[in-house]
Chains A and B, each alone.
Chain A
Amino acid sequence: MKLLLVEDNERVARFVCKGLSEAGHTVDHADNGRDGMFHAVSEPYDAIVMDRMLPGGIDGLAIIEALRQQGNRVPILVLSALDGVDDRILGLKRGGDDYLVKPFAFGELLARLDALLRRSHSHTLETTLALGDLSVDLLAHKVTRAGTSIALQPREFKLLEYLLRHANQIVTRTMLLENVWDYHFDPQTNVIDVHISKLRQKIDAPFTTQLLRTVRNAGYMLTDRQ
């Protein structure tokens, strides 16, 4: 995937570029708003990682707004040191697709970026999701694995649906918290892990292959790859 990183902090930029390249992406980097704007309008990118506060007379949100006004639908992940809930809402309202607060773990950035890239590639409204022998009927709210029907609580169903939509991708605890429960705070307990292990009990425990895996220091991944 071809990505654009607009970030003025040299060390952060170098770290992110390196990480994204290692993850198999091609990354262009702009260290100020003017160059960022120029790159974003003149080249087609699969996604943009945009710092909010930038030198060069034009800040990140202004660039996003300008792009959206031109009809550019490229997925944009906003990076920001501003952590207020209102800041987050503003960032999304101006046309950002996701919002990540600095300092961030690189795993979190990569996971969210993958989720954005995936979202932009699957526009179809699916009624069934499947991975390996696991399949979920979104309309009938039915889950089956290897022909066996599995009963899930509504929230467990939502959790599984989210994991399936991001199959073969790392999803972080924060992503689950925000997207499955719509909570925007950090629980002090390992409540997400407990929900995952409960789900695992139902969809994995009775079967030989484990689909729901824990990715150390990052989050979880639902995958049928070895």
Chain B
Amino acid sequence: MNRRRFAARVKLPTFSARTIAVGYGVVSLLVLAMFAGPLWYAWHTNIEQVRTELLRSDTQRLENLFTRSGEAALANAIDSQVVGTNDGVRKIMLLTSPDGKRIAGNLPAWPQGLPDRDGLCSSTIHVDGSARRIEAMRVTLPGGYRLLVASNLNRFDELERLFVYGLLACALTVLVGAVLGGVLIRRALLERVQGISQTTAAIIEGKLSRRLAEPHDGDELRLLTHTVNRMLDQIEQLVTGVQDVSNAIAHDLRTPLSELRARLEEVAITRPDLDETYAEIDAAIGDIDRVMSIFQALLRLAEIDSGSRRTGFVEVDLARLGDDVAEFYLPVAELKEIALTFEAGAGLNVVGDPVLIAQALSNLVENALKYAPEGGAITVTARREGERLALSVADNGPGIAEDERPKVVERFYRVDGSRGTPGVGLGLSVVSAVARLHGGTLTLAENAPGLRATLVLPVHAMAAHGTVEMDGRPPAV
């Protein structure tokens, strides 16, 4: 494997964390704008309405006064209201005579720039050389008097300024909060991602046994890390499996192949008589068949492990399947004077691959037949335990030592002393792979004396696959 290339420092995905921080700020500002916008609008229109109304009512009042009591009373009223107040800062009033002369009010003369008609208008006038924006109401009174009532808009500027400053201060606070929050979120995320990334980088460099730290509190990342860890378990097991297989192939395939080579070479060199040559050829074919059967078992294992068989799952009656397998091997057992019995409980339907389950059970029975002593007993049982079905094969042979049990399910592993017996050492690996395919397990236990091998399958293999219960590790023993 090109380790150097993978060893290059893995670049952390800072982009998405930064995006989160920026997005957090933008969203905060948007929320603020959504609040302030309508507030600003309501405030503004409301003030305008109140102002206009005041203008109208003031004008109306003065007009009435003029109609009731005449010019002098109006002039008095005006002067009492505006003369002495700060020169047109808030309210502006002016009454002129029919010839245009000022009678009362706080303007020296009729201002320039006002339209020459009665009614409401907005304009800018100049008083004492300074510009004032006003909203004015002009009324022509009977006899040619003209009345101007106006409010100074400039005095609202201060309020508006305050409002805007307030908003800006708010926005700034929110922005600072958002940036801070974003930075914190980003740092928290980066910390978690960095941990995952560093562990992953170590795994890429070949430290396959490393695992992600799983947080104890049940947050979202826990689910992810748990799933990733399970995936890593599976990968590690597969990689180890491949290494084991390479070693095993080196040994178990090399042996028949070197025998074959020696056999053929010997025939080629010594040129024996025809009968012997034919015998050697037959033996060579036997060698090839041995190699082929190892290949076939390996390919079958690979096929099972790939999970592609899951598409062909159907309802399988384990009582029937177990009975068939037991019946299939019964004559062999009888020949060895072994009592082979099958016991089935009720409710033994499972969703799975009948061909593979039959093969797995056959492998277990063949194993038991291989090791059970003459006159011994093998018991095959199928029973339901809640949502799981257990197919077990118990013999009273020598059993397997506890520390050897995890190893026997490994590919090509053979218990010492069994090298002489037929078989390629893949039987239990196949059973274990079948169990995994169905989301179940293979357990090997003491039968005192002998071995009890149990294939546990969930009733609904498809549903069970992928839950936390399913364990990708070698079967627990």
Total count of chain B residues near the partner, CB < 8 A: 29
- Taking the complex as formed, is A186 at the interface, i.e. its CB lies under 8 A from any CB of chain B? yes
Closest to A197 in B: B331
Q: A84, A187, A190: which contacts B303 (Cβ < 8 A)?
A: A84
Q: Contacts A84-B303, A85-B355, A103-B292 given; indicate if A183 touches B362 (C-beta within 8 A).
A: yes
| Contact yes or no, A189 B359, CB < 8 A | no
The reply to whether A187 and B292 contact each other, CB–CB distance below 8 Å, is no
| CA distance in complex: A184, B292 (Å) | 16
Q: A residues within 8 A CB of B427?
A: 188
Residue A217 CB within 8 A of the other chain:
yes
User: A188-B366, A189-B369 given as contacts; is B324 within 8 A of A181 (CB)?
Assistant: yes
Q: Which residues of A contact B332 (CB under 8 A)?
A: 189-191, 194
List chain B residues, Cβ under 8 A from A105. 285
A22 interface residue (CB < 8 Å to B): no
User: What residues of A have a CB within 8 angstroms of the CB of B370 in the complex?
Assistant: 189
Among B353-400, those with CB < 8 Å from A are 355, 358-359, 362, 366, 369-370
Kindly state whether residue A83 has any CB partner on chain B within 8 Å. yes
Chain B nearest CB, measured from A187 CB (Å): 6
B107-115, B151-159, B164-172, B293-301 - interface stretch: B293-301
Closest 9 CB pairs of A and B: A194-B331, A185-B359, A188-B423, A198-B331, A194-B332, A84-B303, A191-B332, A188-B366, A184-B355
Residues in B neighbouring A185, C-beta threshold 8 A: 300, 355, 358-359, 362
Interface residues of B (CB under 8 A from A): 282, 285, 288, 292-293, 296, 299-300, 303, 308-309, 312, 324, 327-329, 331-332, 335, 355, 358-359, 362, 366, 369-370, 422-423, 427
A119 touches B (CB below 8 Å): no
CB A102 to nearest CB in B, in angstroms, measures 10
In the complex, chain A residues whose CB is within 8 Å of the CB of B308: 84, 86
Q: Any chain B CB within 8 A of the CB of A93?
A: no
Q: Does A195 contact B (CB under 8 A)?
A: yes
Evaluate contact between A155 and B327: CB separation under 8 angstroms: yes
Residue of B nearest to A101 (CB): B296
Supplied contacts A83-B300, A155-B327, A183-B355, 19 more A-B pairs, CB within 8 Å = A83-B299, A84-B308, A85-B309, A86-B303, A86-B308, A86-B309, A86-B312, A183-B362, A184-B359, A185-B300, A185-B355, A185-B362, A187-B366, A188-B423, A189-B329, A189-B370, A194-B332, A194-B335, A217-B282
Chain B residues with CB under 8 Å of A85's CB are 303, 309, 312, 355
Residues 174-214 of A contacting B (Cβ, < 8 Å):
181, 183-191, 194-195, 197-198
A74 to B45, CA, bound (A): 93
Q: B328 and A191: CB pair below 8 A?
A: yes
Min C-beta distance of A90 to chain B, whole Å: 11
List, sorted by A's number, 12 A–B pairs whose CB atoms are closer than 8 Å: A83-B299, A86-B309, A89-B312, A103-B292, A183-B359, A185-B300, A185-B355, A185-B358, A185-B359, A190-B332, A191-B331, A194-B332
A105 and B285 CA atoms in complex are apart in Å by 9
What chain A residues lie within 8 Å of B300 (beta carbons)? 83, 185
Contact assessment for A186 and B293 in the assembled complex, using a CB-CB cutoff below 8 Å: yes
CA distance A195 to B288 in the complex (A): 26
Contact of A188 among B292, B324, B355, B422 (CB under 8 A): B422
From residue B367, how far is it (CB to closest CB) to chain A in Å? Answer: 9
Per the bound structure, the CA–CA distance linking A183 and B329 in Å amounts to 13
Q: How many chain A residues have a CB neighbour from B under 8 Å? A: 23
Task: Indicate if the CB atoms of B309 and A83 lie closer than 8 Å.
Answer: no
> A189 contacts which chain B residues (CB < 8 A)?
329, 332, 366, 369-370, 422
B250: min CB distance to chain A, Å: 22
A191 and B329 within 8 A (CB): yes
Closest Cβ of chain B to A81, distance in Å, is 10
Q: How far is the CB of A163 from chain B (nearest CB, A)?
A: 16
Q: How far is the CB of A13 from chain B (nearest CB, A)?
A: 19
Q: In the complex, which residue of chain B has the Cβ closest to the Cβ of A196? A: B331
- Contacting residues, chain A, for B366 (C-beta < 8 A): 187-189
* Residues in B neighbouring A217, C-beta threshold 8 A: 282
Interchain nearest-CB distance for A161 vs B (Å):
17
Q: Which chain A residues lie closer than 8 Å to B422 at the CB level?
A: 188-189
> Separation in Å of the B12 CB from the closest CB of chain A?
42
Closest residue to B354 on the A side, CB-wise?
A182
Q: Looking across the interface, which residue of chain A has its beta carbon closest to that of B285? A: A105
Contacts of B335 in A (CB 8 A): 194
From B308, which residue of chain A is reached at the shortest CB distance? A86
**B355 surroundings in chain A (CB, below 8 A):** 85, 183-185
Cα–Cα, bound, A84→B427 (Å)? 18
Q: A188-B423, A188-B427 are in contact. Are A195 and B292 (CB under 8 A)?
A: no
CB interface residues, A 146-186, toward B, < 8 Å? 155, 181, 183-186
Chain B nearest Cβ from A82, distance in angstroms: 10
| Closest Cβ neighbor of A180 among chain B residues | B328
- How far, in whole Å, are A83 and B300 apart by their CA atoms in the complex? 8
Chain B proximity of A140: nearest CB distance (Å): 22
Residues of B within 8 A of A188 (CB): 366, 422-423, 427
Question: How does the 8 Å CB contact mask read for A73-115 relative to B, with 1 for contact and 0 for none?
Answer: 0000000000111100100000000000001010000000000
B31 to A: closest C-beta gap in Å: 57
List of A residues within 8 angstroms of B423 by Cβ: 188
Query: From A217, which residue of chain B is reached at the shortest CB distance?
Result: B282
Contacts of A198 in B (CB 8 A): 331
| B293–A183 CB distance below 8 A | no
B280 nearest CB across to chain A (Å): 14
Cα A84 to Cα B296 with chains together (Å): 9
